[in-house]
Amino acid sequence: MGTILTSNAALELMRQSAVAGIPGEMHAELVSGGCSDYAIVFKAGRHSGEPISRESGVTLYSNAEQVGLFAGIVIDYQESLSGGGFFLSGKSIDVSSCGNCFSFKAD
């Protein structure tokens, strides 16, 4: 598992999964679009995925064909007075100015 969830991200994913009635299981999918090439969409449950990260009681899954794309991506969650959101970082991606969309760096 090469995806890193910060403890803040894991706590928010745990909260979302519990609200959906599937505590501790979340699915991540890369979709095209947003303010860059890709964005990550989170859904409660496994959705027949493979585990890509475990942290603080939550397991994050992804489709088998996308597991390798998540390698080295760090997923964080931050809250402020204007709301909260997931933010990405990692050596293999260029993060857009909106903080939650990215493109892969050329090799």
pLDDT tens for each residue of 73-106? 999 999 988 888 998 999 999 998 876 789 998 8
How many Å separate Cα 37 from the centre of its chain? 15
Given a contact cutoff of 8 angstroms between Cβ atoms, the answer to whether 64 and 28 are in contact is no
Domain spans in the chain, listed from the N-terminal domain onward = 4-104
Given a contact cutoff of 8 angstroms between Cβ atoms, the answer to whether 72 and 2 are in contact is yes
**What's residue 80's pLDDT?**
87
**What's residue 21's pLDDT?**
95
> What's domain 4-104's superfamily in CATH?
HesB-like domain (2.60.300.12)
Span 23-76, pLDDT tens digits: 999 999 999 987 889 999 999 999 989 999 999 999 999 999 999 999 999 999
How many Å separate Cα 4 from the centre of its chain? 9
Q: Which residue has the higher pLDDT, 80 or 19?
A: 19
pTM, rounded to two decimals: 0.90
**What's residue 99's pLDDT?**
65
**What's residue 63's pLDDT?**
95
Average pLDDT over residues 16-26: 96
pLDDT band at 15 (very low <50, low <70, confident <90, very high): very high
Query: HSE of 86 in the Cβ direction (CA atoms, 13 Å)?
Result: 22
